[in-house]
Structures are given as C-alpha cells and as structure tokens.
Structure 1
C-alpha cells in the first residue's frame, strides 16, 4: 500500500497539507514531535475520509531519527509514494545574538533531515517510476536575509536542491516541487518571532490552509517551483534586477 509521508504535520502548513492529501484519498504517515497532536489529527482524518493514517513521533533535528523513521516504515511495510518535507524552524534575531543550539537545530532540520529523508525514500520511487517530493522552501530562498541569516540560507539550499533533483529526475516518472510561501499565519511564525517583524505586519498574510491548497495543486501539476501569492511572485522576480546593496537594506528593514 502506498502512503504520503508528511513531516511537521502537527500544525500549520503541514497539518493543512495532511488534510489536502487525505481529502484526495491518500493514506498518510504523519511525523512530528508532538504525538498527541498527531494522534488527534489521525483520528480526525481517518473518520472523515476513511483512509489509513500512521503516526510516527520523531524529532528530525536529531540525525539518527531520519534513519529510524525509514526503518520503521520498512518494517511496517509502509511504501512512501509522496514525501513532503515540511518540518522546519526559524529564528528572528541578529546572528551574533543568537544561541548556537538554535542555529544548529535549524541547519539540521531545514537542510540535513530534508536531504537525508529524500535520499532514503527517493530510490524506491524511482524504481516504481511514480511519486513525488514536496519540499517546503520559502520566498526567503531568493535573497540573503539579515536578522534571519541562517534561516534564509537554509531555504536557499532547499530551493536549489529541489530544482536540481527535479532536473535529474526528468523522465523517471518522479518529480520534485519546491514550495515557496511568504509569511503565513501559523505556529511557525510565532515560534520564529517573525510575527513581530515589519514584514509580517505590512503584508496581507494568508492562512496555512490557503498555502496548502496552492501547494497541493502545484504538486499535482508537477511544478518545479511554486511561489504562493501574486505579490510574492513579483517580489521573487524583482530580486534578479534589484541592486544587491538595496536588497539587503530592504530585507534588513523588514526583518529587524
């Protein structure tokens, strides 16, 4: 039986993506640190959509957890058709003022675990000649981000990595999509302290549900890069023609 595995599925965009896949008949493997939240979501989706839902609590900022997750899926004969790498963290502060443990967690979760899980689950998709990978990047991926330096850098990696493997997978029956949402109403924004930034206050911020609906449709269309929102698309395109010094000033102002 084939499943869609979603990391960071306990809240925000991850939770709403689980609902999108569920209402389209996809059985799920839900992964996050909060077992209670996952169990509640699994019960809701099973009852509403009559699908199979497996819950696997895991802290993917710990490198060994990716391998454990893969082994558990293999032991339980859970074959992953779609992998949604949504788990991630952020931090809104000057780099010199941040705690290293937070930055290390960000690097491991936003980049290392995403890459490791892709490396573990992708071979079976290619062998089966079907499936896809949805990596949640950000509009932060298109430029450097003062006061969120490491976060912006990790999302640039996600975008670059996703586009590269999507090109490699051409003709294989498998694809990769990089989702690039802008600021979104979710628990992530508050945890990263982004909800206090000028960027968050100045924009018309969409809901996690809006972003998830767009993400699912883009994934089904096998888009390589999916930027949510008209203004975000315009801003991402303008990066290439905006002088670098001016870009840094603008992002500094919005994030500070």
Structure 2
C-alpha cells in the first residue's frame, strides 16, 4: 500500500487530504501539534477506510520535532503533502517580527526541509508525489503570506521539471478562500472575512482537484475556473490595482 505523510492534518485542508488519500487506499502518517485532533481523525479514517494511520505529533517550528518528521520521511513514503501553515494580519509594519519569522519558517523552511528529506528515497524508487499547499495569493502582491506562497509555487514549478523525468512529481495546489477554520484562527468569525460569497470554495473540491492535477503531473493546480480567471486577469493589471483588490478579503 502507498504511504502518504500529511502535515497540518488536524483540521481544514490537511484532514481532507488525509480522508481522500485514505479513501484511495493509502496508509497515512498524519502530522500536527494537536494530539487529540489527530487521534480522532485517525480513528475515523481507520474505521471508514481500513488503512493504517500513524499519528506523529510535531510542531514543525521546533527543531527536534521537525527533525523527527524528516527522519520518518527518509524511511520512505510515496506522497508528501506540505500543508501546515497559518496566516497573519496584512499590516506587516504592525506584526511582531518574531511572528513574521515563524510564519516564514513554517511556510518555506519547513516545506523545503521536508521535501528534501522525502526526495532521495522517492528518486531511488523512481516514484513519488510531493504536494505543496500554496495559494492564489502566491500569484499576486499580498503581504508576506503571498510572498511565502509564491516561493512554494516557484519551487514546485522548478522541482516538477527537474524530478518528473525521474518519476517524482511536485505540485503546488493553489486554492483561493476555502471554508475551513483558517480564518477563525485569525480571529475572524464567519461572515467577517470580507470575502464575496461567490469566491468561497469547499475543502473537498479543492483537495479532489488538487490530487487529480498531481496525478496528472501538473506543477500548478488552481482549483475552480473562477480563480483561474482571476489569476490570469491579475497578470494584466498594475500592481497598485491588484494590491487594492487583494486586500479586500482576509
């Protein structure tokens, strides 16, 4: 059976990746800080899908915990989903710099290190998939969150060209606004995110389309035609216009 490692698996897109990969027959290693949430997810998936689910409690901003996940990846897995992350307020000048550094380390450094840990065994086997959960924010000027996601997109595009001929694909999944607990963790109750109703996506669709594009070997997956159009249009507009438009939602 294939084995998939999912970071940030305790909720949101991470738990949906776990459910859909398990439904396709993959054994799982679910990674997050919240042991209780991981254990509940693992029990649900074991009962529903009959696959093995290993719980690995880890804060990826802790050096020892991150090293433990790297060690598990180096033992050999078939799929890595780099999903762990969090958002910050767009007022960069007001954010504590330590929060910004943690944000950068989780979205960029941790994803880089985990991909580096997984790649050698994948390449030796001649097969593997790395899915980096990015965002359409990575295509537009949108604070340090967009900048970090832009790194993930660029890295994925390069890595897919470099490693696909050797059997390993790398895909950046770039959703827009998704109904998860992401915004609640920013302190924004439902309805106060400033996002038009037509721009919301559901996690099930995002993950299904992302996994489909990863299976097809695509470097970038933008779930929903609405966001494909918005990204295309944003490339034709001045940065000042795009920044103002992107700042309307949080």
- Fold shared per TM-score above 0.5: yes
Other-structure match for 1:212: 207
Other-structure match for 1:102: 99
**2:46 counterpart of 1:42:** no
The correspondence for 1:113, drawn from 94, 110, 113, is 110
Given the two structures, how large is their TM-score scaled by the length of structure 2? 0.93
In the TM superposition, residue 9 of structure 1 has moved relative to its aligned partner by 0.5
State the distance in 1 between where 2:155 and 2:84 align.
16
Q: Which runs of 5+ in 1 are unaligned?
A: none
In the TM superposition, residue 245 of structure 1 has moved relative to its aligned partner by 2.1
Other-structure match for 2:185: 191
State the distance in 2 between where 1:142 and 1:176 align.
18
Which sits farther off after the overlay, 61-70 or 165-174?
61-70
Structure 2 SS opposite 1:189: helix
Preserved CA contact (<8 Å) 2:30 2:54:
yes
State the distance in 1 between where 2:177 and 2:154 align.
20
Given the two structures, how large is their TM-score scaled by the length of structure 1? 0.91
Q: CA RMSD in A?
A: 1.7
In the TM superposition, residue 100 of structure 1 has moved relative to its aligned partner by 2.2
State the distance in 1 between where 2:86 and 2:24 align.
28
The correspondence for 2:81, drawn from 84, 93, 104, is 84
State the distance in 2 between where 1:234 and 1:72 align.
39
Other-structure match for 2:239: 244
State the distance in 2 between where 1:21 and 1:66 align.
23
Other-structure match for 1:166: 160
Which sits farther off after the overlay, 184-193 or 54-63?
184-193
Other-structure match for 2:66: 66
Preserved CA contact (<8 Å) 2:183 2:193:
no
Preserved CA contact (<8 Å) 1:227 1:233:
yes
- The alignment covers a number of residue pairs equal to 248
Deviations 1:88-142 (A, max 9, x none): 1111231111122321221111111000000011110011000110000000000
Q: 1:226 to 1:73 in 2, by over 3 A?
A: closer
Preserved CA contact (<8 Å) 1:92 1:193:
no
Structure 1 SS opposite 2:166: coil
Structure 2 SS opposite 1:4: strand
Preserved CA contact (<8 Å) 1:25 1:51:
yes
Other-structure match for 2:137: 140
In the TM superposition, residue 193 of structure 1 has moved relative to its aligned partner by 4.7
State the distance in 2 between where 1:201 and 1:105 align.
30
Please list every run of at least 4 consecutive aligned residues from structure 1 whose deviation after the TM superposition is greater than 6 angstroms.
none
Preserved CA contact (<8 Å) 1:163 1:224:
yes
Kindly report which structure 2 residues correspond to 1:124-139, keeping only aligned pairs within 5 A, or say none. 124-139=121-136
Preserved CA contact (<8 Å) 2:205 2:223:
no
Other-structure match for 2:53: 53
In the TM superposition, residue 218 of structure 1 has moved relative to its aligned partner by 1.6
The correspondence for 1:229, drawn from 221, 224, 230, is 224
